[in-house]
Structure 1
Amino acid sequence: MTSSEVVTPTVRRTLRRALFWIVLAALLLAFAAVYGLTTRSTTEADRFSADEAAPAGSRALVQVLGDAGIDVVAAETLDDALAAIDDPATTTLVAADPRTVLTAEQWRELDGAAASLVLVEPPAPAVGSLAPAIAPGVPSLGGVRDEAGCSLPAALRAGSITADGLGLDASGATAADLGAAGVQLCFPGGEGEGGAALVSLDQPAGGTLHLLGAGGVVQNGLIGREGNAALALGLTGEHPRLVWYVASTADIAGGTTALSELYPGWVNPVAWLALTVGLAAAVWRGRRLGPVVIENLPVVVRTTETMEGRARLYAREGSRLRALDALRVGTLRRLAEGLALGSAAGLDDIVTAVSGITGRDRAGLRALLVDREPRDDGELVALSDELLELERLVQRRVALADDGPGERPADRPDPTTR
Structure 2
Amino acid sequence: MTSTMQGPPAVRRRRNWRWIGAAILAIVALAAVTAWLTAPRPGGRMDPASTSADGAHALVTLLRDQGVDVVVADTVAEAEHAARPDSLLLIAQTGYMPSDELLRRLIAAPGDRLLIEPTSRTREALAAELRVAPTVTYGGEPDCDLPEATRAGSAQFGPTDTYELVADSPVTLTRCYSGAVVRYRDDGHTVTVAGTAEFMTNSSLLREGNAALAMNLAGTRPRLVWYAPQHVEGENSSSATIFDLIPARVGWAVWQLWLAVGLVALWKGRRLGPLVAERLPVVVRASETVEGRGRLYRSRRARDRAADALRTATLQRLAPRLGLGNKPDPGEVVQAVAQRTHKDPNTLVDNLFGPPPSSDNELLQLAHALDDIERQVAHS
Taking structure 2 as the reference length, the TM-score comes to 0.48
Taking structure 1 as the reference length, the TM-score comes to 0.44
- Name which one, 1 or 2, has greater alpha-carbon Rg: 1
